Amino acid sequence: MAQTITLYVDGACRGNPGLGGWGAYVITESEEHKLYGGVPETTNNRMELTAAIEGIKFCPTDAKLIIWTDSNYVKQGITEWIHGWKKKNWKDVKNPDLWKLLDATCQGREIEWNWIRGHSGHPGNEMADQLANLGADQTLTNMKNSSSKAEKPLAEVVVLDKKKVEKDWLLDDPFGFDLMESDVQDDTEALENLAQEMIQSEDMNDEAEVQDEIVEDVAPALLNVEHPHIVITPRTKQVHGPRQLILDTETTGFYFQDTDRIIEVGALEMVNRKLTGSSIHIYINPKKPVGDSENIHGISDAFLQDKPVYAEIADVLFEYLKGAEIIAHNATFDMNFLNMEFKRAGFVALSEVCEVTDTLAMAKSKHPGQKNSLDALVRRYEIPQRDRTFHGALLDAEILADVYLAMTGGQVSFDMDTLSESEQQEAQTARLSVQIELPVILPSEQELQAHETWVKQFEEKHGTACLFAK
């Protein structure tokens, strides 16, 4: 029986174009292999493709390969878009040399392609990222020792101790972690279908090829984003109506007036109480230490070092947010920081072009005297738990979307929206056909007296009127 091999592949580029590296972390049944290399002048997409090519070429042709990449560009390109590219004879396709090589390398092999969220802490993906950066570092060293600038990948293979490798939790998931990411996978499948339709369309322009991790949104506005650190996903549902954006930020501290800065922004789009699949996610270099706030969000100074400053991403972020209703938990905090950052970048305050809804204020009104943190609301509304060891803007936005729908009575209608018109009619008919006379049970005099006594004792103890008084 042929062996199964797991590969994690990743690319890195310092500048786009610029110095690049690729890495492939190969896990067989008995060994681990680390492959890496680099190119003096290249792009991030080319390094992502090279990582996949080199990783596959390293493996026996009769092995089943399970490949994980954090690049939508690679995963969707090789599984879906490549068919349309071949029909067009590779017209207007970027990086055709590497796509053709990847296609040829995959021929005759059994390969399962998977997407994984980058920089999410998974050890396989993190190792591939480290190898890609190691490849870039080695290339830089070689450049200093040589005058050659040829785009020739420099590969090195390291074989670790031969031992039985433990199963990867991403493949064998006894705790059900992958269920938490099922919505991401569903959106990815819909995104693939959307991209295939775009490729087959006669109206595609020269920029139709989607950049790695940066996908043009088809509605409500076309954002042709080239920045490697701005991640915008397109809608996967065709909806019409006012936009709501479930938003969260992470910052270096609590005081926007006292030089604290935003380091992460995440927002999910909702229209007519439906998440459309569109989102924006950006990490930002605050140009100051994150300090003790790292204990909250887990984002380090080293991680933010190569990220853009706010002024570099302000135009794209403002374009995505403006005109929408911003929904945030403790919205005053987020809006104060966003207003401050946009003004510094030469824009008007975001609150001047957006309506704002504060779910914390809503929760306090709905549940007076109770804890109304996001975690408390998750427990109160029995929303599926997610790992919040560290806060993250996009993760908190996803949680807040569930909380907002539950708080505003949206869960039932949200579920109904997933039914077809005929299914809704059948459900309505079924409800009408069941006519049950529910008994009305009135309290006895003894129960009424006991209730009145309890209310009086409550008012005497707390000095305030009881909510349950008649």
Residue in 83, 229, 281, 391 annotated catalytic: 391
Q: Write the CA distances from 336 to 17, 128, 328, 344, 429, integer angstroms.
A: 36, 38, 12, 12, 50
> Strand 64-69 and strand 4-14: pairing?
parallel
Dihedral class, residue 176 (left if φ above 0, else alpha if ψ from -120 to 50, else beta): left
* 353, 265 contact by CB (below 8 A): no
Question: What DSSP character marks residue 211?
Answer: B
DSSP 268-286: EEEETTEEEEEEEEEE---
* 347, 325 contact by CB (below 8 A): no
Written as one letter, the residue type at 334 is D
Written as one letter, the residue type at 358 is D
**How far, in Å, CA of 437 to CA of 427, rounded?**
20
* 404, 246 contact by CB (below 8 A): yes
Written as one letter, the residue type at 385 is Q
* 308, 229 contact by CB (below 8 A): yes
> Tokens 């824009």 sit at which residue?
347
Is residue 229 flagged as an active site residue?
Answer: no
**How far, in Å, CA of 465 to CA of 467, rounded?**
6
Residues noted as catalytic: 391
